[in-house]
Structures are given as C-alpha cells and as structure tokens.
Amino acid sequence: MFAPGTYSTDVPVGFYTSVYGLGEAPTDTNFVGEKGVFAENGCGWFQVGALDTFWRSAENFHSSATFAWAVGTGMTWAVSQAAPLRNVKVDNDLLFFEYVTGDAAGYASGGWASGVDVGGAVSFGSQQQFSVRSSSASAFDKPVWNGVFAGVDGAPEAQCGSEGNPSISVESEVPLIAEKPFITYDEGGEFNLVVPGVESGASGIAQPMNNATTVPFENVYVTDPSDTAAIINGKLSEGLHVVVSPGIYELEDSIKVRQEGQVVLGLGFATLIAPSNGEPCLKVGDVGGVRVAGLLLEAGAWETRGGMLQVGETGKFEGSAANPVVLSDVFARVGGQNTGVGPVDTMFNIQSGFTIVDNTWLWRADHTDGNGGDDVLVKNSDNAVKNGVVVNADDVFAYGLAAEHTTEDNVVWNGDRGTTIFYQAEIMYDYLEDKWPFSCYKIGEGVIDHKATGLGCYSYFRDYAGSCESGVDTGGGSFDIDKAVSVWLNGMDGSSIKNVIDNDGMVADGESPQQFYCSEKKSN
C-alpha cells in the first residue's frame, strides 16, 4: 500500500500480491521508475508464458514507466485470470503480454482491466481473450479470439470473428455499475474507506469518487488472520464495515453480511476457506447496497452446500437498480493449492435481484501443486464442483465473467433480464465418456430477455475423445446474443464442440478449431 507521493522504485507483482495507491485519484500516487509497477510472464517458455500468472492485482496509481520491452515502451502487465488492473493512469503503452525468447510471445489467458487511462496504445498481443471496461486509450489492438469493450473510449470497431480474426464486441455504455471500494490515506494521517456511488449508462474512464461515500476507519473493523467467523460476524452485527487483512482464514462458519450498505473488502487476496459445517464462505442477506470485494474463496476438504458465496437468503429479494449488491474482484477455486477438496455444488449462488458481478474467475483447478512444487494433473472428476455460478434471480449483471472446468454446466442462468458482458469458459479436461451432456453457458428454460455479449467456450478433452453438444444453450426463451466463439484448444482425436449456440452446426474440432457466431435475437 503506497501513500500519496512519488516513488522511483520498480515494483514486480507476484502471486498473492496486490499493489494499492492510497490517494483519491490515481495521479496522487506516482511511480516514476523505469518499469514502475509490473507483472511478467511466469514462465520463460512461450507455450506456458503467462498462462499460470494468476492471483495478483494493482490499482489506483499513475505509471510513467519508460522501459523498452520487446513489444513496446511503458507498463507491462502480462497476466491471465484473477489478475485485475483497476483505475491506473499510464503515460506510455500498456502491454498485456510479454515476449522473452523463442518462436512467439508468451501465451496468456486473461484478463480484466477497468478504469485505465492510457496515453499510448494498449496491446493484447498473445492474450487469448480480454475484457476492458470504463477505460480510454489512444489505440487498442485486438486479442487472439475474443475481445470485449464496454464503455471504452477509443475501443476498436466491432467485428464478427473469422479464421485468423478475433471476435470484437463493443458496448458503448455499462448498464449499471458501482466501482470497487478502496482505501485512502489523507494528509492528517487517517485511513478512510471510499464506497463509490451507483451509475447507470456509464461510459469513459471510471470515476470512483463520483457520488462516493467516505467512511472514516473508526467505522471499519480490520481483521486479523487469526479471527474466527464469530469475531468477524460480531463486528458486522455492530454495523461496522470490514476490511479483511491478507492471510488465510480457516472459518468455522459463514461470514454473514445482513445490514444494508455494508462493505467487506479483502486486501492482498485474503483467502476464506469454506467452513467445515458445509456452509458458504460468505452469505449476503436479503439486503441491498452490500459491496463484497477483493476476496479469494477456497473449498475445504469437505462438502460445501449452497455455494461458496451466497447472495440472498430467501430467493425472494428483488433488489433495486438504485441500491444493487456488487461483487468486485471476488474469486473462487476448488483445488489448486490443495488436493482432495470438495465436493461443492456451486461457487456463486445468486438469489437476489440487482446483483452485479464485476470481474470474477470461478476455477475448478485442472492442476494442483505436488511434492516439490511439480504440477499434478487433476483427473477422474476430482476437485468436484458442479457449477461456477447459478443465477436464480432477475436483473443480474455480470461483467468479466469466467468459469472453468466444472463437472456440469459452467454457468446456469435462470433469472429474467440478465446481462453478461464478456464470458470465458473451458470445459472440464477429464471427462471420460462420449458426450459431455452440459454446456459452457446455459440459459434456463423459458427465461426472458437475456442479453449476452462476447461469449467464449473452449474445449480440451484431454483424457477421452468426448464432445459438447453446444457451447451456449439458450433454453428456448427470449434472448439477444452478440457474438460467441467456440475454440478447440487441443484434445483427443475426434473431440469437439458441435455447435456454438444451440444447433447452429458450427463444429469446433481439430480440423476447424475456431468457430465464430455473430449475433442472434429471439423474442417470444
């Protein structure tokens, strides 16, 4: 955490590390070093590159980096999922990939940026896909398969994808948003919690201070990693906001947020281990205005029911556009660091209307740490989790949604008037039958007015020559889908995704690995 001022230090950002400027504006905290704040490929071999460069973040500062990287001059942020960049002003180029050596730039599977103000160009290079919200740059190039821009000044022109050309989706406005809460340090030496206001139809560079509420830390409880859920819940019941300090929290019960407008803000990838009583890591009651941000939720070595994160307790809370629940940079994983976890029914269980998901990665780990740090491949449906997110509420919004490797539908959306802007999924690698009877993105039967922009479904049937019938299952209701892509990454001979959407007949397989769907609307 960097107080307002000027810093000549270069700051490499590694696993489970977050860099925060503590000013009200990015320009209050200035990095003038040659590299400034940066993240590089996790592996020098280009076929791995940044593919495993997860679990890090940076936000709320100004970079005047001038380093001449192989692919441009300025700030490098070569990352994949769960590595957000927020509210950063960059004087020169912003590079989301890195070339080190060999035949190509390091592969990357990101990513997310919001509130970035770039004086030079933004370059995605080898990024397979990327989502940018509420930002500006002099120029943007294009990721490899799927690029989505929402409320972005200078965004590239929208285009339907084709072999060798990515799908590019552009939304001129963000329908409904509240920026992520953040911490400031003022001239009097006091910390404050800033809770940004709600905006409709936002465009251009995010302005978190607009209509924001500033809360002095006398109304905030800062946790200790030794805290129990009972201690944290006691502070929440007193009406305090909670800042979760970095650490691993082995919970005995759910953290319960039941007062309107409360904030739970994690720092440095604070990790909540699902409690052994089978309850979610965190529950939000039937109240509006709650903000949950900056947390990593992790499955334990036992069953978790009702989601690792549950929003809404009765399934009857309609919520309101004026006072939504907002989940910013909240991530969940089943496996990865630990083996023998779960089972889990779903990672996110959303039952309250007007909930906003603003950047998430919901990951059933496909590999995990072994002895000596060697990766061990996950097989035979270990790390069992059925779904990434299940939406059982109306008027839910998701920006920058990623859900991977679940044993059933990655996403199940049963609520009306839902909106997704950018989605990325990989089908489980370890399925062992001919037909995987699920989809990457399933809209419930009869759902009305579902809008989705920039959907991506990828396959790697590693252990058997399986197939997925359809990447996107629209459920027969009314929908508006703007651009979707299926990609056969690799896999057994004969494996495939047979349709991009429903039964369109566009097969992604070893002979034609990429299939692009432009748009479709259906009204009932």
- DSSP string covering 423-456: EEEE--S---SSEE---SEEEPTT--SEEEEEEE
Residue 382 inside a domain? The answer is yes
Q: Assess if residue 475 is contained within a domain.
A: no
pLDDT of residue 293: 99
Domain membership flag for residue 400: yes
Q: What are phi and psi of 26, to 5 degrees?
A: -55, -35
Q: Is it the case that residue 75 has pLDDT exceeding 90?
A: yes
* Mean pLDDT, residues 235-241 taken together: 99
Shared domain check, 251 and 136 = no
The token duo for 407 is 């044993």
**Is residue 245 domain-shared with residue 145, that is, in the same domain?**
no
What integer pLDDT is reported at residue 257 of this predicted model?
Answer: 99
Q: Residue 391 pLDDT more than 60?
A: yes
Lowest-confidence pick of 5-19, 53-67, 289-303, 372-386: 372-386
Residues 279-299 have a mean pLDDT of 99
- 458: number of CA atoms within 13 Å, CB side? 19
Torsional sign, CA 360, 364, 367, 371:
positive
Dist CA 92 CA 171 (whole Å): 25
The per-residue pLDDT of the chain, averaged, comes to 96
pLDDT for res 336: 81
Query: Does 330 share its domain with 246?
Result: yes
How far apart CA 265 and CA 278 sit, in angstroms, is: 23
Q: Residue 375's pLDDT band (boundaries 50, 70, 90)?
A: low
Q: Is the pLDDT of residue 369 over 70?
A: no
- Residues 53 and 164 both lie in one domain: yes
Do 145 and 246 belong to one domain? no
pLDDT band at residue 176 under the 50/70/90 scheme: very high
Express each pLDDT in 341-357 by its tens digit: 889 999 999 999 999 99
Which residues have CB under 8 Å from 218's CB, separation 6+? Answer: none
Average pLDDT of span 265-278: 98
Are 367 and 375 in contact by the 8 Å Cβ rule? The answer is yes
> What are phi and psi for residue 401, nearest 5 degrees?
-100, 130
Rounded CA Rg of the chain: 21
User: Does one domain contain both 39 and 148?
Assistant: yes
Same domain, 172 and 258: no
User: 377 or 455, which is more confident?
Assistant: 455
- On the question of pLDDT at 264 being above 70, the answer is yes
Give the count of beta carbons closer than 10 Å to the beta carbon of residue 253.
Answer: 17
Count of structural domains, the chain: 2
Answer yes or no: is 501 within a domain: no
Residue type, 303: E
Q: Is residue 69 part of a domain?
A: yes
Please compute the mean of the pLDDT values over residues 364-391 and round it to a whole number: 81
pLDDT at 374: 55
DSSP 180: P
Contact 255/292 with Cβ under 8 angstroms?
A: no
Among 124, 154, 177, where does a domain finish?
A: 177
**pLDDT confidence tier of residue 370, bands split at 50, 70 and 90:** low
Amino acid identity for residue 393 in this structure: A
Position 68: which residue type?
A: A
CA 177 – CA 421 distance, rounded (Å): 12
pLDDT of residue 523: 77
Contact criterion met (CB below 8 Å) for 88 and 77? no
The region of weakest confidence among 42-56, 218-232, 256-270, 374-388 is 374-388
Domain end marker among 426, 452, 474: 426
132 and 248, same domain (yes or no):
no
> Is residue 502 situated within a structural domain?
no
What pLDDT band is residue 522 in, cutting at 50, 70 and 90? confident
Per-residue confidence (pLDDT) for residue 188, from 0 to 100 = 94
Q: Considering the entire predicted model, what is its pTM?
A: 0.97
Active site residue 190: no
Domain boundary residue, one of 381, 408, 426 = 426
**With DSSP H G I counted as helix, E B as strand and the rest as coil, what are the percentages for the chain, rounded to 5?**
5, 45, 50
- Asked whether residue 338 carries a pLDDT value surpassing 90, the answer given is no
Residue 286 structural domain: 241-426
Whether residues 154 and 265 share a domain: the answer is no
User: What pLDDT digit, counting tens, does each position of 77-113 carry?
Assistant: 999 999 999 999 999 999 999 999 888 999 999 899 9
Give residue 367's pLDDT.
79
SS3 string of 299-321?
A: CCCCCECCCCEEECCCCCCCCCC
Contacts of 274 (CB under 8 A, 6+ apart): 251, 280, 281, 297, 298, 299, 300, 302, 304, 308, 344
Q: Say whether both 285 and 404 belong to one domain.
A: yes
Indicate whether 431 belongs to any domain. Answer: no
Please tell me the predicted confidence (pLDDT) of residue 524.
65
Number of H helices, E strands in the chain: 1, 47
* Range in 240-254, 376-390, 504-518 with the lowest mean pLDDT: 376-390
Is 460 or 341 the better-scoring residue by pLDDT?
460
In a domain, 445, yes or no: no
Q: Are residues 140 and 58 in the same domain?
A: yes
Both 397 and 263 in one domain: the answer is: yes
Tell whether the model's pLDDT for residue 372 goes beyond 80. no
Catalytic residue among 171, 426, 433, 511: 426
User: CB-hemisphere CA count at 13 Å for 427?
Assistant: 35
